[in-house]
Amino acid sequence: MNKITPQTSPEAPMIGASVARPNGRRLLEGRGRYVDDIALARMAHVAFLRSPHAHARILAIHASAARTMPGVIDIVTGRDLADAVQPFAGLLVHFKGMKSAMQHCIAIDRVAWQGEPVVAIIAETRRQAEDAAARIDVEYDPLPAVSSLDVAERGEIRAQPELDDNICFTREVEGGDWDKAAAEADVFLERHFRFPRHTGVCPEGRSIIGDWNPSDRRLTVYISHQAPHMIQDCYARLLGIAESDVRVVCPDVGGSYGIKTHVYGDELATCALSMRIGRPVKFVADRLESFLSDIHNRDHAVTARLALKRDGTILSLGHEGTQAIGPYSVYPRTSVVEGNQIANICGQWYRLQAYRAKVRALFTNLVPYSNYRAVGHPVAVGVTEALVDAAAREIGMDPAEIRRKNLLRDEDFPLQTPSGMKFEGMSHHACLDKVLSMMDYEKLRADQVEARKRGIYRGIGLASMIEITNPSAMFYGVGGARISAQDGCTVRLEPQGGIMVLHGCGEQGQGTETIFAQIVADAVGVPMGAVRLVTGDTDATPYGGGTWASRGAGVGGEAAWQAGRALRKSILDLAATIHQRDAASLDIRRGLVVDAESGQEITSLSEVGRIAYFRPDTLGGMRPELSVTRHYLPTQYAFAFTNGILACHLEADPETGFIKLLKFWAVEDCGKVLNPLLVEEQLRGAIVQGIGPTLF
């Protein structure tokens, strides 16, 4: 059982304490409010009839029988929405030469994957919509389909007939002196890797209510999503209305893992349908259509090479990888970030003298493909660490030793890697030492030898890694995508002394709201219980990017800290005026304004609030600003790279191939830990989500 050390003293700082999530209670008591729990007056439901073919021409849609079914309000095809909704594709200008066909929210004339929406059926209930869908007859002329990476590579069949080939994007990276490294090397290794498709499988399927109010000419979107402002921008532009005519609300989200950072045709269509019928329309993806329409990721074939000296010094790493994306580059983050990140990070945590990468993304008629948790990292780390292990075996060196010899050292930082990434600082050797001692590595190795004599096969695996976090505007903004890298936080003093926090980063269960409350509590000087959070509403919060790429704590947390400190200063200035003191001699502790030196109470925040809001006439012209907003954007580095190491111990049955995981260890350099309880749970959850596709 894991030891937990709950925060007990109200005197201790909140930052760094294992505080249980205040918003966790409602989830434990059946009071979570997810999109499917929202029922609006006159709300209709939409079901989508989806393509049974991977690639086909739509010859005719016969829907007259369905139109007369009970409860049916409207039956809508892609062509019916052609004027109302702009087509879309994820294209970033800094990804030179990338291309994509344009995607329609509902297919027009041709379907390009099995599961693409073909007809929308709006009815009074979802059951009635599905009944009617069963009565619609669509005539298809099946076309040859690009059904795999191999078929895409051969190029005889094109996933999109309007494109010249199946290539979406190619990028080559080269750094260091490849020939010199080759000349110095004694050992050359080459390995082939195949990574299958993965997806997030959120417990809550994608869910949305589009609520167009024709009187106000305003669209309110309730959506299970990680990036409300991105949805506001994308939907406004694709539906041809002003940004301020769209309000996006993200209530509780039942799992997202990157799956809910994208624009999906069926969700966009749901809003267009609400605008068409002038009533709210709900769409909730059921499990089968989630499998057919949630984005997939991975699906790489990689050939990689490592060159090293006989003494274990790694000299160069090169790889060529191809990824099988879907029929379109997914909007707006594209389908190529995974490969791009592999090119950026593969092997870069070792002291490489030379590096070469070539990544290609090929269109297929498989399910659309884009960013899912840990974008690119599992492939980059898997390839690198398997090569390093192969090298250790080849030269007869211990896997921990070869890492110790080659991992970037503390004195190497800051540095620019051969792939061009800038690293500020890392702690690979401290992490390695720590994990080896946690797992008692020597003892496990001895046990491994001894067990093998008894015919028991135990394996010990190490994987050093780096992680892209807190991206700057160099990630999307530079490529023209309107996905904000900055985030904003408003903190305000309420008249009775409470603190209201409005933040652009939302909560999907990670504990985002909890860490913001901890940060603001310390920044202002109040107990955490005095802090209330509002997130996930574009009408309420400052503009921000939302929650993805491990940016909530690093970017969002810094905005919360700066806003909290600014409010603290405002309160102290005001208290100083009221009590005719020097603000520098005052402090705020546990919600009280005190003498900084003696700690003696001078006034309370509720008294400051009373005067500020109800008797500002007594302040002699001072106009206190007790609602402050701060925005934060990382600028020094394109990404804040973190690092860590993972280790596992398992047993394999040589006859059946069954693998039993015995134990798993992780050491990650998280920087300042805001809440150990939440960090540990995030790590455990992430590790298990990684074990899933690795072993099963």
**Contacting positions for other proteins (CB under 8 A):** 1-2, 4, 6, 20-21, 24-34, 36-37, 69-70, 127, 131, 200-205, 252-257, 286-287, 508-511, 677-678, 681, 684-689
Task: Give 453-456 contacts, CB < 8 A, sequence gap 24+.
Answer: 455/654, 456/651
Q: Please name the residue that has the structure tokens 């390695």.
A: 432
Compute the least distance from the CB of residue 497 to other proteins, in Å.
26
- Nearer CB in complex with other proteins: 314/679: 679
Q: How far apart are CA 389 and CA 256, in angstroms?
A: 33
Compute the least distance from the CB of residue 517 to other proteins, in Å.
15
- Nearer CB in complex with other proteins: 354/463: 463
Compute the least distance from the CB of residue 203 to other proteins, in Å.
4
Of 475, 466, 160, residue with least CA distance to 337:
475
- Angle separating helix axes 337-345 and 377-395, nearest 10 degrees: 40
Compute the least distance from the CB of residue 125 to other proteins, in Å.
9
> Helix, strand, coil % (nearest 5) of the chain?
30, 30, 40
Of 329, 355, 327, 326, residue with least CA distance to 342:
355
Compute the least distance from the CB of residue 266 to other proteins, in Å.
18
Secondary structure element (H or E) that encloses residue 401, with its range: helix 399-406
- Nearer CB in complex with other proteins: 7/365: 7
Q: How far apart are CA 87 and CA 270, in angstroms?
A: 15
Compute the least distance from the CB of residue 264 to other proteins, in Å.
18
Cis bond before residue 471 (omega within 30° of 0): no
Secondary structure element (H or E) that encloses residue 680, with its range: helix 676-695
Could you tell me which residues are beta bridge partners of residue 465? 644
Distances in Å between the alpha carbon of 437 and those of 198, 430, 569?
33, 11, 46
- Nearer CB in complex with other proteins: 262/403: 262
- Nearer CB in complex with other proteins: 4/622: 4
Compute the least distance from the CB of residue 7 to other proteins, in Å.
11
Could you tell me which residues are beta bridge partners of residue 369? 296
- Nearer CB in complex with other proteins: 70/671: 70
- Nearer CB in complex with other proteins: 144/255: 255
- Nearer CB in complex with other proteins: 131/668: 131
- Alpha helices (H) along 55-107: 64-67
Compute the least distance from the CB of residue 511 to other proteins, in Å.
7
- Nearer CB in complex with other proteins: 290/562: 290
Compute the least distance from the CB of residue 50 to other proteins, in Å.
16
Of 467, 520, 517, 437, residue with least CA distance to 683:
467
169 contacts 98 by C-beta, under 8 angstroms = yes
Compute the least distance from the CB of residue 138 to other proteins, in Å.
21
56 contacts 116 by C-beta, under 8 angstroms = no
Q: How far apart are CA 140 and CA 57, in angstroms?
A: 6
Q: Which two tokens stand for residue 251?
A: 């209530």
- What radius of gyration, in Å, describes the C-alpha atoms of the chain? 28
- Nearer CB in complex with other proteins: 399/506: 506
DSSP E strand boundaries for 352-420: 354-362, 415-416
- Nearer CB in complex with other proteins: 30/97: 30
Of 592, 629, 609, 603, residue with least CA distance to 494:
609
Q: How far apart are CA 544 and CA 440, in angstroms?
A: 44
Compute the least distance from the CB of residue 57 to other proteins, in Å.
32
